[in-house]
């Protein structure tokens, strides 16, 4: 049975860091405390730069929260029944958002601050560093190998990796204005 949504009492400032990324790939977000977890998934996908091509889950202690998939042997609690305030309520509280169970992109999400409600400003990225890795590049290890190949035109994989990611790929680029335009268009 779904819980009843409480009125938003605050905005949560979250820091989302891609676990194992060196240098760190991260985003600082502002979202309502009462965002449902399936909606937060959409915000995280847009904010980080993923394309929503894979399964995901939230890991909170020993609990796995996501989209129950009857075709998979996943013991998962339905994310549509939970809100952000169910997972974190105090600064420094955190949980893990995992995207793509093959590449295992773990995102550590920390509640940094609790802010007064301003309904016109959410969801929103206010800061961040680095571009999102390409989908299906093999997790943090595969991404490191990709970046190594792209830095050396004499590398044996240089041409194939460049063809794969495109000449416009810049691992240091982060267009927060573009991300926020996409976030503004999300319909909840």
Return all residues near 109 (Cβ < 8 A) that are at least 6 apart: 14, 15, 16, 88, 94, 95, 96, 97
3-state secondary structure of 137: coil
Q: What is the pLDDT of residue 106?
A: 98
As a CATH number, domain 11-132+173-184 is 3.10.290.30
CA–CA separation, 146 vs 173, rounded Å? 16
What sign for the dihedral angle of Cα 128, 31, 39, 84?
positive
- Locate the domains of the chain by residue range: 11-132+173-184
Backbone angle region of 131, left / alpha / beta, with phi > 0 → left and psi within -120 to 50 → alpha: beta
Q: What is the pLDDT of residue 121?
A: 67
Q: What is the pLDDT of residue 166?
A: 94
CA–CA separation, 123 vs 184, rounded Å? 7
Q: What is the pLDDT of residue 1?
A: 45
pLDDT below 50 — which residues of the chain?
1
Residue-wise pLDDT for 42-81, tens only, equals 999 999 999 999 999 999 999 999 998 888 777 899 999 9
Give the predicted TM-score (pTM) of the model.
0.95
Backbone angle region of 23, left / alpha / beta, with phi > 0 → left and psi within -120 to 50 → alpha: beta
């Amino acid at each position: 049975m779904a819980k009843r949504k409480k009125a938003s009492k605050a905005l949560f400032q979250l820091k989302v860091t891609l676990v194992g990324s060196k240098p760190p790939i991260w985003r600082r977000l502002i979202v309502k405390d009462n965002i449902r977890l399936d909606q937060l998934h959409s915000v995280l996908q847009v904010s980080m730069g993923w394309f929503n091509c894979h399964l995901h889950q939230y890991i909170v202690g020993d609990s796995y929260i996501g989209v129950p998939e009857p075709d998979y042997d996943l013991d998962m609690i339905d994310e549509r029944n939970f809100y952000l305030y169910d997972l974190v309520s105090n600064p420094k509280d955190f949980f893990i958002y995992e995207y793509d169970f093959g590449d295992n992109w773990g995102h550590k999400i920390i509640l940094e601050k609790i802010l007064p409600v301003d309904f016109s400003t959410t969801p929103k990225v206010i800061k961040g560093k680095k571009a999102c890795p390409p989908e299906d590049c093999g997790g943090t290890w595969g991404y490191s190998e990709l970046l190594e190949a792209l830095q050396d035109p004499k590398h044996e994989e240089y041409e194939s990796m460049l063809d794969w990611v495109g000449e416009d790929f810049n691992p240091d680029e982060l267009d927060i204005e573009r991300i926020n335009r996409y976030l503004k268009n999300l319909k909840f």
